[in-house]
Structure 1
């Protein structure tokens, strides 16, 4: 599969991720995060001659530092007796559920941005 298609797949997925944030406690933040990843994926295809590495590295650093704020929630998740609550109901009844989900979303965004940083458009 060529890198342009992968970029468009990443963009499509992150547009969907952004679109389903309407019921999140902080929807605009997550729409911005996921939208930024989608935008980078699309813009990198159409402006392949531009070096996006500084932008992508900046986004990676911001998301990485933000990820650290959710480590206590992830640790609480590992200490929890009922792990199925994480993927069960969409309403977070325990405080660690939302934080662990957001940690996972940030990891997915970081992985995608890392791919976009390394990819070459053919």
Structure 2
């Protein structure tokens, strides 16, 4: 029952995140990322599991998260250079390090949701 609730919440949240990314310049990437996670959670809510797909997506998302972490004006710069300036002050991310940090944490959340489903079937 808990897994049904978690997957339902993740499914709706990721679909919502995809929706708010429709107006971004890189919407093709982020809508795809969030919709893959949303669909995977929807299937898992109905107890249809695809562990290989989860693993492939998790690997892709974590590699991309590492790229965002170490990229110029990325998460590492946000931590060291900008002293962890608030990333929730405005939804209009005009500073690249804030946008990359938000994307980084989004990828970690998606990876955790997919990992939850991956380990359920193992």
Unaligned runs of 5+ in 1: none
Q: Which structure is larger by alpha-carbon Rg, 1 or 2?
A: 1
Q: TM-score, structure 1 length as denominator?
A: 0.84
Q: Following superposition of structure 1 onto structure 2, how do residues 18-97 of structure 1 map, counting pairs within 5 Å?
A: 18-46=18-46, 48=48, 52-72=50-70, 73-78=74-79, 79-81=81-83, 83-84=85-86, 86-97=87-98
Distance 2:94 2:8 in 1: 35
Q: Which moves more between the two structures, 69-78 or 37-46? A: 37-46
- Residue 47 of structure 1 deviates from its aligned partner by 5.5
Larger RCO, structure (CA 8 Å, separation 6 or more): 1
Q: Number of aligned pairs?
A: 117
Distance 2:106 2:40 in 1: 17
- Relative to its length, the structure with more helix (as a share) is 1
Give the ranges of 4+ consecutive aligned residues of structure 1 lying more than 6 Å apart after TM superposition.
none
Q: TM-score, structure 2 length as denominator?
A: 0.84
